Amino acid sequence: MSMMSEISSYCSKYGIDEEGQRELLILLNRSLSMISLEILKKEKKEVKEEKIEGSKKYKSRKAEEYAEEHGLSLSDFSINEVSKKDVENKVREMTKLKKDNKLEKKESSKEISKEISNESSKEESKEIKKSKEKVICSGINKKGEACKSVGTIQPEAAKKKYCFRHAEDYRSFECDTDSSDEEEEKCLEVEEEKSLEVEEEKSLEVEEEKSLEVEEEKSLEEEE
């Protein structure tokens, strides 16, 4: 079956009219022309390279053998006649280039390692600084004063740090800021009750001290 017959069958199969068939033929011819031009360009380039390659040669058999030992060919040289000395110079250039590349890679890996080390040192110093910073306990003592001990414990769900005395009862020292107004009021009430209890304890302590003083005075008077 010829190309035209195949195209006609294709157009009939997919319901393409005569105008569409003509456009399809134009596109096909244009594509074939472009492909032919690319093939011609490639062939011309290959012929040119063959001519250049054909004009080059080794000056001696030793030069050719030495080049083959080091994986070189005439295309690696820009001159037409290649001597053994030219091959040796090329080998030196290649060796030097390899060394330079290795040194460059080594230096870059050193720089990367140095940057990683510096980042690690910074992170470690930050952690050490954090650990050295003293956090005061957020609890309140029996006298109603802020606790002056170092806060080393942060219980689960707690927002602040506390000393070992106040860690267990941390809920009484915190109020959830995200809670509703009713919960906040309850929290404030609990805090007020606690402060009242502390004040009562203080007053009891004062009364006990006074009673002890009175008893001491009485005992002194009786001795006299």
Domain boundaries, the chain: 1-55, 57-132, 175-223
Q: Per DSSP, what are the bridge partners of residue 81?
A: 57
pLDDT in the model for residue 178? 44
pLDDT in the model for residue 50? 55
Tokens of 140: 């309140």
Question: Residue 152 above 80 pLDDT?
Answer: yes
Give the DSSP letter of residue 170.
G
Mean predicted confidence (pLDDT) in 48-66: 75
- Going by their DSSP bridges, the two strands 57-58 and 81-82 should be labelled as parallel
Amino acid type, 116: I
Which are the contacts of 15, defined by CB distance < 8 A and separation ≥ 6? none
Question: Residue 26 above 80 pLDDT?
Answer: yes
pLDDT in the model for residue 164? 86
- Residue 201's SS3 state is helix
Pick the residue with more confidence: 57 or 108?
Answer: 57
CB atoms closer than 10 angstroms to residue 200: 10
pLDDT in the model for residue 128? 63
Give the model's confidence band at 89: pLDDT under 50 very low, under 70 low, under 90 confident, else very high.
Answer: very high
Residue with tokens 């203080």: 202
Tokens of 38: 């690319």
pTM of the model: 0.28
Residue 11 near residue 20 (C-beta atoms within 8 A)? yes
Name the helix (H) or strand (E) containing 82: strand 81-82
Question: Residue 179 above 60 pLDDT?
Answer: no
In this structure, the chain runs to a length of 224
Mean residue pLDDT of the chain comes to 79
Pick the residue with more confidence: 161 or 114?
Answer: 161
* Residue 213 burial by Cβ neighbours in a 10 Å radius (0-12, 13-18, 19+): exposed
On the CB side of 15, CA atoms within 13 Å amount to 0
Q: Per DSSP, what are the bridge partners of residue 82?
A: 58
pLDDT in the model for residue 43? 78
